Amino acid sequence: MTAAKRTEGQGEGTLLSHLVELRTRVMRMVITVLVLFVCLAPFADFIFTTVAGPLMARLPEGTSMIATQVASPFLTPFKLALAAAVFLAMPMLLYQTWAFVAPGLYKQERRLILPLMASSIVLFYGGVAFAYYVVFPLMFSFFAAATPSGVAMMTDIAAYLDFVLALFFAFGLAFEVPVATVLAVWAGFTTPEKLSRKRPFVLLGAFVMGMLLTPPDIISQTLLAVPVYILFEAGIVMARVMVPGHKEVEAQQKEQEQSGS
């Protein structure tokens, strides 16, 4: 066997082993979600009642949520139970992702990934909790107060579920800003010094994000934009602490700017 054939065979074997490992990781993710869904399915009605609590508490007296589709009363709670299973499985999903890419990382890179993974889990759940306990009560109170006279506020349960799940994911992902900031500095795309100069643009971008990801009311937009900006500042601090060598890069860039001017 020639060297070229051996190299080709080794490459095919390596690719096949990666594909097998990827399949194994994905199967573990799917099994984790399914097991959690089976455990949560008997409590689907309780989960839906809990998630619908912020709206139900602020509906006008004598009104309630409604189901406009035949199968909604049955399918909507189970759909929410599946979404809850994905939420609860997030640590396992992130761990399996990290375990798949970890063999290709250097030792110092692994030391950085583990704290980032833990931070991303905490921040994601923090964003979801912030949406449920802070944003929903204020937003639904505003919607109830803004309902025109003569109009009964009776929200469809399927539409409500889609609405709150979108906001849960929006706030959960928005709270990942510090992790994204650290990764950008770690990858060499930017430095903490450059990011600190972009504060006005980031603040504007946070409000644009709030406008795109939340309903068209100033309360929910502000409640998303302000935490995103604060987390951006936290990301700069985290990058300065966690990413080694950024001071040398900033010093070199300053020298280049001074020599260029």
Q: How far apart are CA 195 and CA 202, in angstroms?
A: 9
pLDDT over 50 (residue 6): no
Q: Kindly give, in sequence order, each residue whose CB lies less than 8 Å from that of residue 139, ignoring residues fewer than 6 positions away.
A: 215, 217, 219, 220, 223
Supply the pTM of this predicted model.
0.76
The pLDDT, as a whole number, for residue 46 is 92
Name the one residue in this structure whose structure tokens are 């060297």: 3
Q: Kindly give, in sequence order, each residue whose CB lies less than 8 Å from that of residue 69, ignoring residues fewer than 6 positions away.
A: 156, 158
8-49 pLDDT per residue, tens: 444 555 778 878 888 999 999 999 999 999 999 999 999 999
Using CB atoms within 10 Å of the CB of residue 135, give its burial: 0 to 12 exposed, 13 to 18 middle, 19+ buried.
buried
Residue 246 belongs to what H/E stretch? helix 246-260
**How far is CA 251 from each of CA 15, 147, 194, rounded to the nearest angstrom?**
41, 57, 12
38-91 pLDDT per residue, tens: 999 999 999 999 998 888 888 877 778 888 888 888 888 989 999 999 999 988
Mean pLDDT within 195-217: 82
Q: What are phi and psi of 54, to 5 degrees?
A: -60, -35
Q: How far apart are CA 237 and CA 113, in angstroms?
A: 17
What integer best gives the mean pLDDT of the chain?
A: 81
The pLDDT, as a whole number, for residue 224 is 84
The pLDDT, as a whole number, for residue 10 is 47
Using CB atoms within 10 Å of the CB of residue 216, give its burial: 0 to 12 exposed, 13 to 18 middle, 19+ buried.
exposed
Of the candidate ranges 56-60, 156-160, 201-205, the one whose mean pLDDT is the lowest: 56-60
Mean pLDDT within 96-124: 77
Residue-wise DSSP of 179-218: HHHHHHHHTTS--HHHHHHTHHHHHHHHHHHHHHHS-SSH
- Which CB contacts under 8 angstroms, 24+ apart, belong to 64-70? 64/154, 65/154, 65/155, 65/156, 65/157, 65/160, 66/154, 66/155, 66/156, 66/157, 67/156, 67/157, 67/158, 68/156, 68/158, 69/156, 69/158
The pLDDT, as a whole number, for residue 237 is 86
pLDDT-based confidence at 5, cuts 50/70/90?
very low
Mean pLDDT within 208-215: 78
**How far is CA 26 from each of CA 12, 22, 99, 159, 244, rounded to the nearest angstrom?**
21, 6, 11, 30, 33
